[in-house]
Amino acid sequence: TQYLVANPLLAITASTVIACGVVGFLCAVFLLALLAYRMKKKDEGSYELGDNKLSVTAYHKAPTKEFYA
């Protein structure tokens, strides 16, 4: 079907706005789904199952005992 529009540029603009709105909505839905997926994945996490061994390069708390020379 062909529509008779007084200004053809106006018809192109309206369809462009609608198309951009649909694309923007789909992007928003995708980003929300990705956010939900990442939050769910973060909650699963990795849990310690055994003994943890401190590495030599790991941070160690400084001793609090004072000594006088």
Rounded average pLDDT over 1-13:
65
pLDDT above 90 coverage of the chain, percent: 26
Q: Is 52 exposed, middle or buried (0-12, 13-18, 19+ CB in 10 A)?
A: exposed
Distance between CA atoms of 9 and 54, rounded to whole angstroms? 70
Q: Are 60 and 54 in contact (CB under 8 A)?
A: yes
Higher pLDDT, 22 or 60: 22
Annotated domain spans of the chain:
1-44
Q: What local confidence, expressed as pLDDT, does residue 13 receive?
A: 78
pLDDT bucket at 32, cuts 50 / 70 / 90: very high
pLDDT bucket at 19, cuts 50 / 70 / 90: very high
